[in-house]
Amino acid sequence: MPMQYIRCVFKSRGVSQCGCCSFSHVLPLLEVRSRARIPEGARTVIFALFPYYTGLLPHRNLSRYAVPDDYHLIAGRVLEGCQDALEEAFPQERFVSFVDSSPIREVQGAYLAGLGWMGRNGQLINPRFGSYVFIGEIVTTLEIPCQPRPMGKCLDCGACRRACPTGALTEGSVEEALCRSAVTQKKGELTLWETEQIRAGGMVWGCDICNDVCPMNRRALPSDMRQFYQSMDSVVTEENLSRLRKRKAFGYRGRAVMERNLGILAASKTEREVYDG
């Protein structure tokens, strides 16, 4: 059976969580440039999860996902290896891999592939690794029999919505203008409110609050992929920024954004020291 072989291919490259759904079930595609890469006659989408939780790391100023090296590179290399193996096994078919910049609605697709629940914060929640997972996929012309296998839904306890300090979470989606993670990634000048959100959050990049309060993440297992442990940096400083931005997920945003955020947090620390003194 093709899916049995595909699982073996992914497992041999360290991916324990994969599944598939019909290409027709993820339509319509998102209006992004990468949709031009979708192979003509696509029949199936193979989804893979890349868990990134590597421990508590209580003193970090980076979101958990940015502590390891850039997941685009880690997941991209794995998917390319899987793609090569599948092309060799099924030479009459086409396989195209995507990481992040995908025209596929990844959370919905991975949910239909039976890889987890859809959280109220818009993220996929896997039974083993919680919501600390990246999603990648391979779109193929190979037709693989696979019925939708949704696992259900999250507990709907409202913990993520209650914990979000800005009220950015609605039913299954995030209002980016209010999201602290999005604010840390915004280019250019910030409003006073946005500046205060970075000060209050204490993060140079990202925000993990909605993930960390989720009860379904309390028993999330650490990543089973060695690549996420090879180069972990949980704190960015002015001294190490030049080095880290070359290989971390925040590097694409440019130096100016990170320098601005570091400046905001440094000023906040100085203000507290003056007040405490």
**Radius of gyration from C-alpha coordinates of the chain:** 20
Cβ proximity of 172 and 120 under 8 Å: yes
210: which residues sit within 8 A by CB, 6+ positions away? 121, 123, 160, 163, 164, 169
DSSP 185-227: H--S---HHHHHHHHHH--SB---HHHHT-GGGTTPPPP--GG
100 belongs to the catalytic site: yes
Q: How far apart are the first and last CA of the chain?
A: 70
- Cα four-point dihedral sign 176, 104, 221, 71: negative
Cα–Cα distance measured from residue 81 to residue 204, given in angstroms and rounded to the nearest whole number = 33
CB atoms within 10 A of CB 234: 17
- DSSP-derived 3-state class of residue 126: strand
In this structure, the dihedral spanned by the alpha carbons of residues 108, 109, 112 and 116, taken in order and rounded to 10 degrees, is -70
Cα–Cα distance measured from residue 134 to residue 101, given in angstroms and rounded to the nearest whole number = 12
Cα–Cα distance measured from residue 139 to residue 97, given in angstroms and rounded to the nearest whole number = 6
Instruction: For residue 49, give the nearest of 80, 87, 11 by alpha carbon.
Output: 11
**Annotated catalytic residue within 100, 156, 208, 224:** 100
Active site residues: 100
